Chain A
Amino acid sequence: MSKKQDKKHQQQAAEPSLDFSKALIYTPAPESSAHIRLKKQYDLFINGTWVKPSKGGYFETINPSTEQVLAKVAEGTQEDVDKAVKAARAAYENVWSKMPARERAKYIYRIARLIQERAREFAVIESMDGGKPIRESRDIDIPLAANHFFYYAGWADKLEYAFPGKNPESIGVAGQIIPWNFPLLMAAWKIAPALAAGNTVVLKPAESTPLTALKLAEIIEESGLPAGVVNIVTGAGATGAAIVNHPDIDKIAFTGSTDVGKLIQKAIAGTGKKLTLELGGKAANIIFEDAALDQAVEGIVNGIFFNQGHVCCAGSRLFVQEGVADKVIRKLKDRMASLIVGDPMDKNTDIGAINSPEQLKKINEYLKIGVNEGGEVFQPNCSIPSKGYFCKPTLFLNTSQSHRVVQEEIFGPVLAVQTFRTVEEVIEKANNTPYGLSAGVWTDKGSKIFNMTTKLKAGVVWANTYNKFDPSSPFGGFRESGFGREGGLHGLLPYLNLR
């Protein structure tokens, strides 16, 4: 071997450190948006046709990575919502509730297939409108959305097997309000079980990410689904409120912040409307010293930096057992050094754009708060684009339960790190929150896993994995993270009355 190598072999670096900044820097690999057809302006999808908003208002939806306007989208008003609800009611009474379940299923299957056919187009639009990396929209959001329709389609004619001793009946018209972090996927989570259970739908996508829901409306049109069964009404908070408060809606399903969830719960008090809420979280991700540490580090990264941390179930509170804390943090920092922040359309991007300037502002405020609280900040030495809304992946080290960055949902790529000593201690700390959506546990010991997974107050517990989703797997929270489940057999219940 060369002398050079011999020398290197003898070399004892004082501070062994890994350098990820030079070799094999990936050249840009942008996904093409050439085949994407976006209209300049989108109307409301009501009763199977596109109708202009009653007050003629439109708002812009922008690409958060370029700050460019993608399209104008109709601002649905109370009148528009009323039109949509009337259409949904008529479709429910006259068509959908009378259709044999088996035929209902075929339409839902058809929607699943059409999404699969146009998957790439959906992925590109999702990344343009929301800022998420194309790798995620392509590999996760869109396939999962299609799968969700496919999964629930099959339930339509089997509902009586889901609830032994009961006769499940559809509810009527469901009003659904979804967030901006997984626009198409959340639409699928809401629409698919509602239709399978025999209900009709009025859905409002988030104002910053309406495009894939509108493209879904195009697919629904194409599928021949009877007019009025699914209505898409775009708009902001007021449009959502019009849905929540509409007297002829039987059920509200909301995914979003705990604050808004509480407002909705309050608003429909006494109206008899059924409600499911999928709200915020501040999940504990717990690393024991006997864990598969390198894989745990992947789980930490996937837990908090997936979708820029815009994930209600993000593992935003990291707990590392003291014996391995230094090791894990070191590995984590090195892993973060290889994360690529930037153009969501680039196939190599790991962390895309923050969804909106408002959200970036909120995250930056928390970064300030964290610093002022005395948290030790770590950010990798990566570059971020000068235009668009971006945030470096961030660790706050040496935090405690009393820090605001530990208690409050930041909804960004910011991880608060704490250490712990014993099982009892970490269970207590993990549960010491009003939220209860999800949790992660990393240990090689089976009995410890079951001990943890039974004691953690969370609707989803990932053991030796994190941020996994599947149409057959129920998702939803304990406590202030909401109630009701989406996905799986349990996801049918919120859309049925059991007689």
Chain B
Amino acid sequence: MGNHNVSYQPSISPPIDQISVEERCARFQSRSIKGETKVAGLKLALSMIDLTTLEGKDSEGKVKQLCYKAMHPHDAMPGIPTVAAVCVYPTMVRTARKALKGSNIKVAAVATAFPSGLAPLKVKLDDTKFAVEEGADEIDMVISRGRFLQGDFNLVFDEIAAVKEACGKAHLKVILETGELSTLDNVRKASDIAIFAGADFIKTSTGKIQPAATMPVTLVMLEAIRDYYYETGKMIGMKPAGGIATSKLALHYLVMVRETLGEAWMNPDWFRFGASKLANDILMQLAKDQTGVYQSLNYFSND
């Protein structure tokens, strides 16, 4: 069941000061990442990507193309890692599973009536079980933001715990949809609820709501993960998703992870980027680093 067998007590979540958090993020962004560190950082970021397609018009063809891109980001350049996972709707899991055969790339499925989460619990659990049965390694669920904002924390907690159970061996990422939570205090509360209810990862956004991932929101979530680790020694993963489109920004996120949680989280097991455009931007930067000239997207496959 959950990471803790007690329900969530709001008092465990400390208040968050927005301005201070923003200042700290500005400090991360003032770090200068150059040379070898930059190349290593870019490759690491690429390896952390959950390459994502979550459109109503997604088709098997589209998903197959994306999976090929996941396994072969840019074959023209040697030494390029694959991405961490491909993230799709449950009905596309089987296609992705098949397309990714032979690689280590995971299949992640958004479930629980993604993106709104406005469905009966039974439907959400069925959605989850279906995705797992189809072969998903990871389930990205959404929390019930409306109920959260109503203060119905126990319901949110119980839903997560139930989905966790339905996941079986699949790992659970809990999407807070921070763009709908309004305050960083709420982000922290929702993070704590998700962690205590059994999340393996916590994730910022569906990508369907603006703002999606931001550095302040991610920092607050990393701090929740850190506090949980301090208390229990258990690691929880983190996935900012949506809005991280440039290499530079991805490196800033890595700086943030590095200075907040340190070495142990600096790998795809514990940190992911949910992104679709980021991979090519990273590839362009890596190519620029090799060739010394700025690149054009025309030279990088767009699946």
A interface residues (Cβ-Cβ under 8 A, vs B): 1-2, 4-5, 8-9, 11-16, 18-29, 135, 139, 290-295, 298-299, 327, 330, 334, 338, 347-348, 444, 464-465
A205–B49 Cα gap in the complex (Å)? 53
Q: Is B34 an interface residue (CB 8 A)?
A: yes
Q: What chain B residues lie within 8 Å of A29 (beta carbons)?
A: 32-34
Q: A1, B32: Cβ atoms under 8 Å?
A: no
Residues facing A in B157-198 (CB within 8 A) are 171
**Candidates B16, B223, B263; contact of A20 at CB < 8 Å:** B263
| Stretch in B20-28, B126-134, B242-250, B289-297 with 4+ CB within 8 Å of A | B20-28
Q: B233, A14: Cβ atoms under 8 Å?
A: yes
Residues facing A in B209-254 (CB within 8 A) are 223, 226, 229-230, 232-235, 254
Q: Is B35 an interface residue (CB 8 A)?
A: yes
Residues facing A in B9-38 (CB within 8 A) are 14-17, 19-21, 23-24, 30-38
A348–B41 Cα gap in the complex (Å)? 16
**Interface residues as binary, B269-283 with A (CB distance below 8 Å gives 1, 0 otherwise):** 110000000000000
Q: B269, A291: Cβ atoms under 8 Å?
A: no
Question: Which residue on chain A has the smallest CB distance to residue B222?
Answer: A294
Classify chain B: how many residues form its interface, as a range: 35 or more
Q: What chain B residues lie within 8 Å of A298 (beta carbons)?
A: 20, 23-24
Q: Is B140 an interface residue (CB 8 A)?
A: no
Q: A24, B15: Cβ atoms under 8 Å?
A: no
Q: How far is the CB of B32 from chain A (nearest CB, A)?
A: 4
Question: Which residue on chain B has the smallest CB distance to residue A340?
Answer: B31
A29–B263 Cα gap in the complex (Å)? 21
* Residue from A2, A9, A15, A338 whose CB has the most chain B CB atoms within 10 Å: A9
Q: Is B1 an interface residue (CB 8 A)?
A: no
A13–B35 Cα gap in the complex (Å)? 35
**Candidates B21, B44, B171, B262; contact of A295 at CB < 8 Å:** B21
Top 8 A-B residue pairs of the complex, sorted by shortest distance between their CB atoms: A295-B20, A29-B32, A23-B266, A16-B233, A444-B15, A13-B233, A347-B32, A18-B262
Q: Is B50 an interface residue (CB 8 A)?
A: no
Q: B269, A5: Cβ atoms under 8 Å?
A: yes
Question: Which residue on chain B has the smallest CB distance to residue A295?
Answer: B20
A11–B20 Cα gap in the complex (Å)? 33
Q: Given contacts A9-B235, A338-B259, are A24 and B200 in contact (CB under 8 A)? A: no
A8–B171 Cα gap in the complex (Å)? 13
Q: Given contacts A23-B263, A298-B23, are A1 and B171 in contact (CB under 8 A)? A: yes
* Residue from A16, A22, A23, A28 whose CB has the most chain B CB atoms within 10 Å: A23
**Candidates A25, A26, A465; contact of B32 at CB < 8 Å:** A26
Q: B17, A295: Cβ atoms under 8 Å?
A: yes
Q: Is B264 an interface residue (CB 8 A)?
A: yes
Q: A135, B30: Cβ atoms under 8 Å?
A: yes
**Candidates B20, B30, B171, B255; contact of A24 at CB < 8 Å:** B255
Q: Given contacts A24-B254, A24-B258, A465-B20, are A19 and B263 in contact (CB under 8 A)? A: yes
Question: Which residue on chain B has the smallest CB distance to residue A339?
Answer: B259
In the assembled complex, 20 residue pairs joining A and B whose CB atoms fall closer than 8 Å, in A order, are A1-B171, A1-B200, A2-B104, A2-B269, A13-B233, A18-B262, A20-B259, A20-B263, A22-B263, A23-B258, A24-B255, A26-B31, A27-B36, A292-B14, A295-B16, A295-B20, A347-B30, A347-B32, A348-B31, A464-B19
A11–B137 Cα gap in the complex (Å)? 20
Q: Given contacts A12-B234, A298-B20, are A348 and B32 in contact (CB under 8 A)? A: yes
Question: Which residue on chain B has the smallest CB distance to residue A468?
Answer: B23
